[in-house]
Amino acid sequence: MHSLLTGVAAITLAFGIMTGASQQALAGGGGGGGGDSAYQYVEMNPIMLPIIDNNGVNQVVNLIIALEVENGALAQKAVALQPKLTDAFIQDMYGALNKQAARHGGVLPLQSIKKRLLKVSNTILADEEHSVHDVLLQFVDQRRI
């Protein structure tokens, strides 16, 4: 029981640190030094999607992603449009995950998923001057049912 509580506390602390870091990035504290300091990071809400085959739902996939954006204004836009982004991610990935999992023996091709999510993100957020630079997978959980 003690180890379970310790594990839950560690996960809670890690999530709090990630959330605090993303909020700090939104506030303009994106970090010092390094080549990526110009980017801001926006952590999205978790996304849960079923993988369906001929027998019904056979897996559930949970994703937590962060968007790497070019500046604070785009980060604020991503936060404001998070419900629209989540909807677009679900619509795009719903059928695609089924086909991709079937082609790869049930294992999801993560690079392909990242490319799809990046395309969807830029469709909603990008303008002539700014775009989403990358989609970072923070957590992937794939469970058979």
Residues 6+ apart with CB under 8 A from 37: 30, 31
Residues 6+ apart with CB under 8 A from 140: 61, 62, 63, 108, 110
N-terminal to C-terminal alpha carbon distance within the chain:
26
pLDDT of residue 7: 42
Q: Would you give per-residue pLDDT tens digits along the chain (145 residues)?
A: 444 334 434 444 444 444 444 444 444 444 444 455 689 999 999 999 998 878 888 889 999 999 999 999 999 999 999 999 999 999 999 878 877 766 667 778 899 999 999 999 999 999 888 899 999 999 999 998 8
Q: Is the sign of the CA dihedral 29, 30, 31, 37 positive or negative? A: negative
Of 45, 65, 42, 61, nearest in space to 117 by CA: 65
Half-sphere exposure of 10 (CA within 13 A, CB side): 6
Q: What dotted CATH number matches 2-144?
A: 3.30.479
Residue 129 is classified by DSSP as: S
User: Do the beta carbons of residue 52 and residue 27 sit within 8 Å?
Assistant: no
Full-model pTM: 0.72
pLDDT of residue 62: 95
